[in-house]
């Protein structure tokens, strides 16, 4: 894992190119503190901070020169060994044991389509000396960040906002619409937009090429909804899911440094830990868990995993109020954007714990909820889909099963039914805009700009999951996953985001993911039942990575955040914002999450803009 930065600008001499690149790299040294190098050519500068994961020798340092191409690369190509063997058969020779050289050779052989061969996560920039072309790419799900500025004759790129702010042409003009989305929807990302108008993010699954002063972007991967539904039997589906997941965890475990795993006690992290332990029973692996005693404490479930797999060495940490207060500024600094939820502070402590125990690679469970139907608002779409199709009996059965599973009362049941009816006759954009609309009462103009995502498929459930995966929830989670792990020079890997696994999941029936008993992520539970602790496989409650933050912390160690400068939100009505905060201070916690986001946005504007 690493940090990359660079640019193309013919007006910079060699000294100026090196000076700017080193300034950009200096801001993201935490991403790769073990080696810093810069390459310059007539018009290009490429910089790299290295965190050594595979092939620890200096010969594998970057920028990596191979024949007539030069590469800077952040991420891992997990199947590099298999690709390397294939390229060897084609006559390619290799001098290192790492994946960077394989990326270069793959480009030489397949061209820009080389990324279609990769199983992994990446943000890369490759300078083709012969063609005077800069080829950039970002992995299919946007696990690794790639930001850029295209301004005048210059093109600049880097791994974080912090690096990009060193670019001379950078302007701190806020993207107010993105700020609004963060406040109301908790999205750190929207399409290619960032919190600054001139700073863009390369979209997941896209390549970017700069050549002859022209910039083009191309989508190289997407979920293919034209593929037919799987005709496998239920047992065959479980077997295939197990096989794909097993292969993913195996590939994600490749490294020349100490591996560890994040273990919350939930289904996803327990699945990864259980599979790792099954694959490598003789290998000791450290697990890391954050808890809050008498509040959010999942240790009983973690104990079940550790009891079943004695090769797991568990580590636990419970941040106290002083530690939360003392660390807040660092968490906010590394996040690059306002902290849109308190759980990201817990994640920061989780990564800190892993690094303190000598781990450099940590496996984490992001991604499963988004394409296997793990979120409970999936039920609004499923029930709504049945209502629209006039399958009233089926809709009622699922509604009743969901209410019983979650032990909801009559009022909550009616609320679910009402939302399901709305979903039945609304596309996903209308639903998102309904969720966005409460911010209108705070705006000074005509209101907030509409959310607009393309309709990926006519199936309401799959369309919902697709946007969770590619456009909304997951993109924000991956943003913080990257920043919190890299704050400690730690590589976080997410085995559920193997594209082969995702592609298979979208060929499944809805009942394979959420069955008629309202069991979510059903195929995951059933496929991994042979290796999961019974208590985990049968666990039905959905906790998420929750904390006591939005109420206890904001009224305790982080109370200073409530001293908000409302004038900084000049595009919103400060008096109405203040009214909500004052109600919160008087004990009304109904809008606690909004108050948290507002308070953290104010802190970000004061300290990092």
State the pLDDT at residue 605.
98
How far is it between the farthest Cα atoms of the chain? Answer: 73
Q: Percentage of the chain with pLDDT > 70?
A: 99
Which whole number is the average pLDDT over 430-436? 96
- Per residue in 471-529, pLDDT (tens digit) is 999 999 999 999 999 999 999 999 999 999 999 999 999 999 999 999 999 999 999 99
Domains of the chain, by residue range, sit at 2-219, 375-461, 549-607
Contact call for residues 467 and 428 (beta carbons, < 8 A): yes
- Per residue in 327-359, pLDDT (tens digit) is 999 999 999 999 999 999 999 999 999 999 999
pLDDT band at 277 (very low <50, low <70, confident <90, very high): very high
Find all residues with CB under 8 Å of 353, minimum gap 6, and list them: 288, 290, 315, 317
pLDDT value at 1 more than 70: no
Residue by residue, DSSP assigns 279-304 as H-TTS-EEEEEE-BTTTB--HHHHHH
pLDDT value at 544 more than 60: no
CA atoms within 13 Å, Cβ hemisphere of 12? 24
Structure tokens at 182: 């963060």
Q: How far does CA 447 lie from the centroid of its chain?
A: 29
DSSP 310: T
pLDDT value at 219 more than 60: yes
Q: Which homologous superfamily does the CATH classification assign to the domain defined by 2-219?
A: Aminohydrolase, N-terminal nucleophile (Ntn) domain (3.60.20.10)
pLDDT value at 56 more than 60: yes
State the pLDDT at residue 296.
85
State the pLDDT at residue 357.
97
Q: pTM above 0.95?
A: yes
State the pLDDT at residue 543.
59
State the pLDDT at residue 545.
58
557-569 residues labelled b (16+ CB within 10 A) or e (exposed): bbeebbebebeeb
How many other C-beta atoms lie within 10 A of the C-beta of residue 239?
Answer: 13
Rounded to an integer, what distance in angstroms lies between the CA atom of residue 192 and that of residue 300? Answer: 41
State the pLDDT at residue 554.
96
pLDDT band at 546 (very low <50, low <70, confident <90, very high): low
pLDDT value at 146 more than 90: yes
DSSP, collapsed to helix, strand or coil, labels residue 588 as: coil
pLDDT value at 396 more than 60: yes
Structure tokens at 563: 């001293």
State the pLDDT at residue 542.
63
pLDDT value at 235 more than 60: yes
pLDDT value at 276 more than 60: yes
Structure tokens at 388: 């629209």
pLDDT band at 94 (very low <50, low <70, confident <90, very high): very high
Dihedral pair phi/psi, residue 573, rounded to 5° = -85, 100
How many other C-beta atoms lie within 10 A of the C-beta of residue 587?
Answer: 8
Dihedral pair phi/psi, residue 18, rounded to 5° = -65, -40
State the pLDDT at residue 575.
96
Q: How many helices (H) and strands (E) does the chain have?
A: 23, 17
Q: Is the peptide bond before 351 cis (omega within 30 degrees of 0)?
A: no
* pLDDT, averaged across the chain: 96
pLDDT value at 4 more than 70: yes
Q: Give the CA distances from residue 233 to residues 237, 362, 509, in Å, rounded to whole numbers and listed in that order.
A: 6, 35, 11
State the pLDDT at residue 28.
98
Rounded to an integer, what distance in angstroms lies between the CA atom of residue 47 and that of residue 52? Answer: 16
């Amino acid at each position: 894992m690493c940090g990359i930065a660079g640019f193309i600008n013919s007006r910079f001499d060699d000294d100026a190119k090196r000076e700017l690149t080193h300034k950009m790299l200096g801001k993201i040294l935490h991403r790769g503190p073990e080696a810093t190098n810069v390459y310059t050519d007539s018009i290009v500068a490429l910089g790299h901070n290295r965190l050594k994961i595979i092939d620890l020798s200096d010969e594998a340092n970057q920028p990596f020169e191979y024949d007539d191409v030069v590469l800077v690369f952040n991420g891992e190509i997990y199947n590099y060994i298999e690709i390397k063997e294939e390229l060897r058969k084609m006559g390619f020779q290799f001098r290192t044991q790492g994946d960077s050289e394989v990326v270069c050779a793959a480009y030489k052989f397949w061209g820009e389509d080389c990324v279609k061969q990769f199983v992994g996560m990446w943000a890369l920039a490759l300078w083709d000396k012969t063609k005077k072309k800069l080829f950039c790419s970002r992995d299919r799900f946007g696990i690794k960040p790639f930001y850029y500025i295209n301004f005048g004759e210059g093109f600049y790129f880097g791994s974080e906002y912090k690096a990009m702010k060193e670019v001379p042409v950078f302007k701190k003009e806020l993207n107010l619409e993105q700020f609004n989305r963060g406040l109301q929807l908790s999205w750190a990302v929207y399409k290619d937009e960032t919190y600054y108008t001139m700073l863009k993010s390369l979209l997941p699954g896209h390549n970017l090429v700069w050549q002859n002063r022209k910039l083009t972007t191309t989508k190289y991967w997407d979920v293919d909804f034209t593929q037919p539904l799987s005709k496998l039997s239920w047992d065959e589906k479980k077997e295939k899911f197990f096989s794909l997941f097993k292969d993913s965890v195996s590939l994600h475990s490749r490294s020349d440094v100490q591996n560890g795993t994040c273990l919350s006690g939930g289904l996803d992290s327990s699945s990864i830990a259980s599979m790792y332990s099954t694959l490598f029973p003789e290998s000791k692996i450290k697990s890391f868990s954050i808890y809050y005693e008498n509040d959010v404490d999942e240790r009983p479930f973690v104990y079940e995993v550790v009891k079943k797999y004695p090769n797991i060495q568990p580590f636990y940490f419970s941040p106290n109020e002083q530690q939360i207060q003392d660390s807040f500024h660092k968490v906010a600094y590394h996040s690059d954007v306002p902290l849109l939820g308190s759980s990201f502070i817990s994640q920061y402590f989780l990564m800190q714990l892993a690094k303190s125990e000598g781990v450099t690679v940590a496996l984490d469970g992001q991604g499963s909820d988004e394409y296997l139907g793990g979120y409970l608002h999936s039920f609004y779409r499923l029930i709504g889909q049945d209502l629209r199709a006039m399958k009233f009996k089926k809709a009622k059965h699922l509604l009743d099963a969901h209410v019983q599973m979650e032990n909801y009362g009559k009022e909550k049941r009616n609320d679910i039914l009402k939302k399901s009816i709305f979903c039945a006759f609304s596309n996903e954009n209308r639903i998102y805009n309904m969720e966005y609309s409460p911010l209108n009462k705070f705006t000074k103009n005509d209101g907030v700009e509409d959310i607009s995502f393309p309709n990926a498929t006519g199936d309401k459930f799959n369309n919902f999951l697709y946007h969770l995966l590619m456009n909304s929830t997951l993109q924000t989670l991956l943003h913080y996953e990257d920043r919190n792990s890299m704050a400690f020079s730690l590589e976080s890997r997410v085995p559920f985001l193997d594209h082969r696994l995702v592609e298979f999941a979208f060929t499944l029936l809805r009942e394979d993911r959420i069955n008629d008993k309202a069991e979510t992520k059903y195929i995951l539970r059933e496929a991994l039942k042979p290796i999961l602790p019974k208590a985990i496989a049968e666990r039905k409650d959905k906790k998420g990575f929750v904390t006591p933050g939005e109420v206890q912390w904001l009224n305790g160690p982080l109370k200073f955040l409530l001293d908000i400068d409302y004038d900084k939100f000049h595009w919103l009505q400060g008096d109405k914002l203040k009214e909500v905060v004052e109600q919160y201070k008087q004990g009304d916690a109904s809008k606690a999450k909004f108050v948290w986001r507002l308070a953290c946005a104010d802190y970000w504007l004061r300290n990092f803009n």
